[in-house]
């Protein structure tokens, strides 16, 4: 998951001092958050779950916004003094969150999309041209493993709280059953090979 986060941040060309809006505070959103913070960015993250937003705050988010209770666009405008976020990373991956990215991205900003939703989105050419927005897809990783392993080994990247459950190889079926039956309790479950 961290390599996916690293890839999204790399595709977004996130730099120190920039503002990054991450839509979605699930495990991938948290990994993106941690990688963006390591780049020196200021990060706002949105979600519909108070629990996920609390974990995002604990994981380093500068601002958390409950997208079901707050006006995200207004919060972005306040946060960026009306400029919009330099980078918007869509880790929710719905047509509506992709479309919304264009409303909150800054001039000359970058939108990074991680989704595989095949439903069409309704985005006109005007916001792309008017703002000179770059839209980039992000999938898997491009040689991100060595960087992520180094950051983990150096203690600069920590997974405290991201891994909520650990199972042995003998418990693999139990692990799959647990994740399927209790998704609200699992951020990431891992299988340990001894």
Summarised one tens digit per residue, pLDDT across range 48-98 is: 999 999 999 999 999 999 999 999 999 999 999 999 999 999 999 999 999
**Contact in structure between 91 and 114 (CB atoms under 8 Å):** yes
Sketch the domain layout of the chain as residue ranges. Answer: 2-137, 162-194
Prediction pTM value: 0.92
Q: What backbone phi and psi angles, to 5 degrees, belong to 190?
A: -125, 155
pLDDT for 85? 98
Beta-carbon contacts of 134 under 8 Å, excluding residues fewer than 6 positions away, are 109, 110, 111
pLDDT for 95? 96
- pLDDT beneath 50, residues of the chain: none
| d(C-alpha 54, C-alpha 45), whole Å | 11
**CATH says 2-137 is which class?**
alpha beta
| d(C-alpha 88, C-alpha 86), whole Å | 7
């Amino acid at each position: 998951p961290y390599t996916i986060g690293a890839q999204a941040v790399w595709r977004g060309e996130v730099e120190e001092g920039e503002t990054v809006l991450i839509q979605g505070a699930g495990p991938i959103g948290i990994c993106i958050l941690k990688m963006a913070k390591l780049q020196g960015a200021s990060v706002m993250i949105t979600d519909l779950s108070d629990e996920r937003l609390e974990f995002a705050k604990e994981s380093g988010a500068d601002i958390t916004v409950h997208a079901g209770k707050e006006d995200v666009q207004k919060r972005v405008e306040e946060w960026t003094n009306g400029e919009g976020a330099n980078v918007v990373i869509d880790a929710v991956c719905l047509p509506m969150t992709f479309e919304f990215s264009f409303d909150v991205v800054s001039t000359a900003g970058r939108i990074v999309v991680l989704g595989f939703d095949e439903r069409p989105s309704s985005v006109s050419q005007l916001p792309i041209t008017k703002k000179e927005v770059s839209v980039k897809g992000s999938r898997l990783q491009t040689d991100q493993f060595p960087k992520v392993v180094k950051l983990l080994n150096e203690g600069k990247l920590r997974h405290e709280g991201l891994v909520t459950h650990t199972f042995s190889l003998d418990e693999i079926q139990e692990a799959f059953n647990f994740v399927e039956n209790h998704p609200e309790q699992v951020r990431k479950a891992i299988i340990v090979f001894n």
